[in-house]
Amino acid sequence: MKAFLLIASLSLALSGCSANWGWYVVNPATDTGLSNLKFLFGGLYYTLLLSVTAIGISVTIGLLIALPGLSHNRYFRGINRTYVEIVRAVPILVLILWVYYGLPQIANLSITVFWAGVIALALSDSAFEAEIFRAGIQSIDKGQYEAAHSISLSYTDMMRHVILPQAIRRILPALGNQLVYMLKMSSLVSVIGMQELTRRANELVVTEYRPLEIYTILVLEYLVVILLVSAGVRWLEHRMQSDQRQ
Amino acid sequence: MPDNTQPIINIDKVCKRFGDFNALKDVSLRISSGERIVVCGPSGSGKSTLIRCINGLERHDSGKILVDGIALDHSASSLSAVRSRVGMVFQQFNLFPHLTVIENLMLGPLKSRKLSREAARQLALNYLERVRIPEQADKYPRQLSGGQQQRVAIARSLCMEPGIMLFDEPTSALDPEMINEVLEVMAELAATGMTMICVTHEMGFARRVADTMVFMDHGEVVETASPEHFFTSPSSERCRDFLNKILQH
């Protein structure tokens, strides 16, 4: 929470040190200011929806890609490597453009801005999720597999009830990082017209000509959201570990 | 002595290599139903590998292993059939740390035996009673002592109601004062007529419980004998050496 105070005092100090600031554009006391603020904050809904949907999908794909990577069969491992290497090599912005403008042409379908953004973000992140899952699962002691085998659990039951619950506890900090990363990368979806935080700020800058104030608000918006998410992840981590410790 | 007509486990000329190392060389062993076997030998002699082959945790390279009439061929069906008949207790306990004691015990019955929650719970409580720690049911493994954890691990295996139990140095990771509580539970289990194969250095336990002693060295079964014969007049030089070393102190 120190960070909040720091930022708040920093922006106050900044606003004091020059006459170039014009906070009137977002002054909630005036009608225009208030409606401008509402417009900016309105983007939060899509930023969150986009990021959460994308992370849900990317965790699922990541897990499905991680599992063959742990196989003894080298063709399965090859599938994992190929996917990770290819997807990791494509810049997110490029993927967003390709999914929105390119994919509808080859797949002959219409795709909304929202789903184009979700697909691009999820695909791009899934390669990283796959690597995180693989590392997490590999860190589980061999004895846990042997114990699961010895009570005759099927592969699915073993993964679901023995290996993954332990692996997920270990990779939670890394998954939290990915969520933060996703929230930040969702700003790129503004280029195809998604009405999230960044897009709204851009549009307002064009009409109000006040980039400094509006982008400062934008910075603060991301900061608050991400600090809250980080705190939430830490809380969850703490709770899951206290299950086991005493 | 149990009858030797129909072995419940038949190990026939089994070989196992790890790279260049021959862990098992043409090992053959017949174990009758209800027989209690103690396997001993110096470290690296292949005793753990041998019992790990019996429930398919290690894959043998050649030879045949028949468990309760099922040939272990490493197909998924033979593995699951064998593993549901064979329980195993590990040196490091290998309890599931994210589950409570009772959940550890119920997992096998629920998922692989497909029992109802109520039946699985009842079964788990019964076996916790048998290993004398019913009051620990809702604790997590790390809240228990080593001896208690190993007893939970034994109870977890018993919840599968196996006909055969394998013990892989079950007391080697324990503090000395906890060894007896585990051996006690094992001795009680032996008295119920369970087929048991124990890899252990606890020679007092072996003398008291075993029907047959098996001595292994360098991946071979060097000697198979009754405990009286084994401890008083072992026929091989290697076995005499080994016994001298471990019985000295």
Report the topology of domain B1-85+171-249: Rossmann fold (3.40.50)
Instruction: Please state the rounded mean pLDDT for residues A16-32.
Output: 79
Q: Which CATH superfamily is domain A22-242 in?
A: MetI-like (1.10.3720.10)
Q: Which of B212, B158, B154 is nearest to B31 (CA)?
A: B212
User: How far does the CA of residue A42 sit from the closest CA of chain B (Å)?
Assistant: 41
Quote the DSSP letter at residue B169. S
**How is residue A177 written in tokens?**
């990082």
Q: State the DSSP H helix or E strand holding residue B152, giving kind and residue range, or none if neither.
A: helix B146-158
CB contact, 8 Å: B56 with chain A? yes
Give the amino acid at A221: E
Q: Which residues of A touch B140 (CB under 8 A)?
A: 243-244, 246
Give which of B48, B95, B107 to mutate to test A binding, by max A Cβ within 10 Å. B107
CA atoms of A202 and A40, how far apart (whole Å): 10
For residues A208 and A36, the answer to whether their CB atoms sit within 8 Å is yes
Minimal Cβ distance to A147: which of B84, B86, B90: B90
Sorting pLDDT into bands at 50, 70 and 90, what band is A246?
A: very low
Does residue A53 carry a pLDDT above 70? yes
Residue B56 Rama label (left phi>0; alpha psi -120 to 50; beta): left
Gyration radius of chain B over CA positions: 18
The pLDDT score that the predictor gives to residue A24 is: 87
Q: Which of A191, A188, A211 is nearest to A201 (CA)?
A: A211
The pLDDT score that the predictor gives to residue A124 is: 95
CB contact, 8 Å: A142 with chain B? no
Residue B25 Rama label (left phi>0; alpha psi -120 to 50; beta): beta
Question: Between the CA atoms of A92, A93, A96 and A99, what dihedral angle is there, to the nearest 10 degrees?
Answer: -90
Sorting pLDDT into bands at 50, 70 and 90, what band is A52?
A: very high
Domain limits of chain A?
A: 22-242
The pLDDT score that the predictor gives to residue B157 is: 97
Residue whose pair of structure tokens reads 């697909």 in the numeric block:
A119
Tell me if A165 and B98 make a contact (CB, 8 A cut-off).
yes
Does residue A5 carry a pLDDT above 80? no
Determine the residue of chain A that is closest to B157 in CA distance.
A151
Low-confidence winner among A9-13, A70-74, B215-219 (lowest mean pLDDT) = A9-13
Tell me if A149 and B83 make a contact (CB, 8 A cut-off).
yes
CA atoms of A148 and A156, how far apart (whole Å): 11
Instruction: Please state the rounded mean pLDDT for residues A95-121.
Output: 93
How many CA atoms does the CB half-sphere of A47 hold within 13 Å?
27
Q: Which residues belong to CATH 3.40.50.300 in chain B?
A: 1-85+171-249
Centre a 10 Å sphere on the Cβ of residue B69 and count the other Cβ atoms it contains: 11
User: Residues 6 or more apart from B116 whose CB is under 8 A from it?
Assistant: none
User: How far does the CA of residue B93 sit from the closest CA of chain A (Å)?
Assistant: 8
> What's the average pLDDT block by block, 10 residues per block, for chain B (249 residues)?
72 94 94 95 93 95 94 91 95 96 97 95 96 94 96 97 96 94 95 95 93 95 93 89 82
Backbone phi and psi for residue B8, each to the nearest 5 degrees, phi listed first: -80, -30
Please, is B75 exposed, middle or buried when counting C-beta atoms within 10 Å of its C-beta (0-12, 13-18, 19+)? exposed
Residue whose pair of structure tokens reads 């400094």 in the numeric block:
A212
Inter-chain Cβ pairs, chain A and chain B, closer than 8 A = 74
For the segment A151-205, what is each residue's pLDDT rounded down to a tens digit? Answer: 999 999 999 999 999 999 999 999 999 999 999 999 999 999 999 999 999 999 9
Sorting pLDDT into bands at 50, 70 and 90, what band is A13?
A: low
Q: Which of B152, B154, B178 is nearest to B166 (CA)?
A: B154
CA atoms of B65 and B82, how far apart (whole Å): 11
CA atoms of A114 and A196, how far apart (whole Å): 10
